[in-house]
Every structure is written in structure tokens, then in C-alpha cells.
Amino acid sequence: MADLELRQVVKDFGNLRVIHGIDLKIDHGEFIVFVGPSGCGKSTLLRMIAGLEEISGGDVMIDGQVVNDMPAARRELAMVFQSYALYPHMSVRKNLAFGLETMKVPKPEIERQVKQAADILQINELLDRKPGQLSGGQRQRVAIGRAIVREPRIFLFDEPLSNLDAELRMQMRVEINRLHRRLGSTMVFVTHDQVEAMTLADRIVVLRAGRVEQVGSPLELYNKPDNIFVAGFLGSPRMNFLPGTVDRVEGHRGEILLAGGQRLTTEFSAPPKAGEAVTIGVRPEDLVPVPETDAVLIGEVTIAEQLGGETYVYVTLPDGQSATVEIKGQARVRPGDRLHLAFEDGKFHIFGSDEKVIRRT
């Protein structure tokens, strides 16, 4: 049985529908990340699970029980807020104990659990301070601690790392990962940051405008995106998209003519019609410099960014399109250089005019 199940969940704000019938099953112990651009409905969906937002249609089920009308206070979930939402007038200890005191847990038990949570998060020395005296990262830990103490059925995280600076964010990411492993609890995590999604998730749910675009493990989504949106959203630098047309189809074999005049031959599992406009997607690391004779594309370097471990080269293609190339190590290229490029091992994606992927064999 799934820990959490969404069935055709819908949310309307007045006349505006923001969640369009979402189905999802989350198993026990899974780390699920909702990711998508601002306004895609990911936070709303999380708040509907939490019980902070009314459900306009469909069912939210926890442990097989429909909880649509159950108030947040009784769902036994815990949530970490983007703003941390610590009680400013209570000490850290009181903040952690609040939920347990509400449940009328005996005092020694509360103390034990608060201490345990404080140990896990290494905030023992902060217990008698007030939230106002803590740094952002410390507040974040307390907020997570407050969730841990309750031993909830499911942890919910609403963009918890977005108020932290880059280094702290990375550190907390690792800690949340470790925490998940240690507790083995089901966690639902909302973020707009694809790096957080890739690094934390067992499965990622990509959302756009209130609809699920694709659900899968991080690498599944990275390697086999269902559509242009998912392909472009995951991965940094972004995937390159080159326009082309299907030129000839013979059986499963087909030839694609790129806008720059180059040709690609490939095998389709369900071949498109000849003449259909398509988009070729190729990740920057799959676009590799090759000798002139093997070149599929020729680009003129506009900028080369040296990151030490790798080099991002921005090139302009003959038809005026620009593309990004990621080269391992410190490539010696200068603006104005001509770069001969090919697709690594046939690693490219073809998307039809409906933006959906056309699978290849």
C-alpha cells in the first residue's frame, strides 16, 4: 500500500484552476521531489497534502485513508517551511517540544525526544536560545528538528533551502539526504532548484502549470526526458535545442535534416512522417569536439568559460543558432575559433512538433 496517494487531485482558486487532476503514488520511505518553475503549483500541491489548502477535487489518501476533510492538525504530518516558521517567543527547546506538548506526551519522553533530535542535528548548544539569535542555517536545523521530533508519517519540505546561501544550501542538502537515510521516512520535498531535485530524489515529479510532465528517477528523467520541457528543465547548463525536419523515412530508419544543412540518420521505434518539423536536443556534455572529417556541426566560439574542472564553450552555429559545449578539463579555445562538433555516441533526443519525444531504438 502506498503511503501517500493522489487521485485526480484538483485545486481551484476562484475560477482559476491551478492544479489539473494529478495522480501520484508514493511508497513508504521514498524521497519524492516536486520540481518546476515558479507558479507551477508544486507548493500548492504540497500544502494540499499537508491540509493547509482545501482540496477542490479528487482525493488525497494517506495510508489508504482519504484525508480530504481531515484538518492539518490530525494528519500526523510534519512540514518544514520556507520561512522556517519558528515560534519567535519560544526557546529552541520549546519550539521542538511544542508538537509533543500538544499531543500531551509525558515530560521525560519529550525531553528524551528533543535531546535526540538535537543530537541528530547538532543543535544541543542552541536549545536555550530564541530563534532571533540564530543564523539562517541554525534556524533551518531547528525547523527540521521540529519535524523530526513529531515522528510524522510523512515529512513535507516546502523549499526549505531557498533562503540559505549557496554553500550552506549544499551542506544542508547533504544533511537532509543523510537524515532520510537514517530515518527511512517518506519525504516530499518541493524545490525549484533542479540540482536539489537531482541530488535528493528517489523519484522526481516535474510539474508545469499544474500538470505532471514526467515522473521518474533523476537519471531516468535526465537520460530519457518525455518532452522538451523536462529535457530543458533538468541539467545545467541547459540542453541545446536545434531545429530540423524529418527528411526521409524507410521502415524504421529515418534521416533528419538540420537547419544548418547537416544530416543525421537514426532508427525510430515509431517513425514520424517525412516532412515533420522536429527539434533535436543534445546536452552540452554530449556535444564533443571531433576532427573536421567527423563533424556534424561547425560552431564559432563566442565565449569560453573556464571553470577549472571543465570548460563551457558558447558557440554560434552557421544558421545563427547558439549552442553550449561542455568540455572536460581546461580546453584551449578562444573566441573566434572554429569548433568541429559531433554528438557523443548518438546521444541526442528528437522531439516532435508537439514537443513530445520521438523514441529511437
From 85-93, 114-122, 229-237, 294-302, span contacting another protein (CB under 8 A)? 85-93
* Single residue of 23, 65, 89, 302 touching another protein by CB under 8 A: 89
Q: Is residue 10 a contact residue for another protein (CB under 8 A)?
A: no
Residue span binding another protein (CB under 8 A) among the ranges 49-57, 266-274, 294-302, 331-339: 49-57
* Closest listed residue to residue 176, CA positions, set 121, 216, 108, 124: 121
3-state DSSP: the chain helix, strand, coil percent, rounded to 5?
Answer: 30, 35, 35
Interaction of residue 83 with another protein, rule CB under 8 A: yes
Q: Is 71 left (phi over 0), alpha (psi -120 to 50) or beta?
A: beta
Candidates 45-53, 109-117, 196-204, 298-306; binding stretch for another protein (CB under 8 A): 45-53
Among 55, 67, 79, 264, binds another protein (CB under 8 A): 79
Cβ pair 143, 84 in contact under 8 A: yes
Nearer to another protein, 45 or 256 (CB): 45
For residues 226 and 256, the answer to whether their CB atoms sit within 8 Å is: no
> Quick check: helix, strand or coil at residue 288?
strand
| Span of 36-44, 76-84, 191-199, 253-261 interacting with another protein by CB under 8 A | 76-84
CB of 331 to another protein, least distance (A): 48
How far is the C-alpha of 235 from the C-alpha of 16, rounded, in Å? 31
Q: C-alpha distances in angstroms, 54 versus 9, 11, 46, 49, 127? A: 11, 8, 11, 9, 35
Q: Which of 59, 63, 76, 310 binds another protein (CB under 8 A)?
A: 76
**Residues 142-201 interacting with another protein (rule: CB under 8 A):** 146, 150
Instruction: Classify 281 in phi/psi space as left (phi over 0), alpha (psi -120 to 50) or beta.
Output: beta
Other beta carbons less than 10 A from residue 180's beta carbon: 19
Q: Does 239 bind another protein (CB under 8 A)?
A: no
**What angle, rounded to 10 degrees, do the helices at 107-121 and 136-149 form?**
140
69 binds another protein (CB under 8 A): no
Q: In the block, which residue shows the cell 572529417?
A: 293
132 is an interface residue for another protein by CB under 8 A: yes
Shorter beta-carbon distance to another protein: residue 87 or 217? 87
Binding status of residue 210 toward another protein by CB under 8 A: no
133 binds another protein (CB under 8 A): yes
Give yes or no for residue 277 binding another protein (CB under 8 A): no
Interacting residue ranges for another protein, rule: CB under 8 A? 50-52, 71-74, 76-79, 81, 83, 85-89, 98-99, 102-103, 130, 132-133, 146, 150
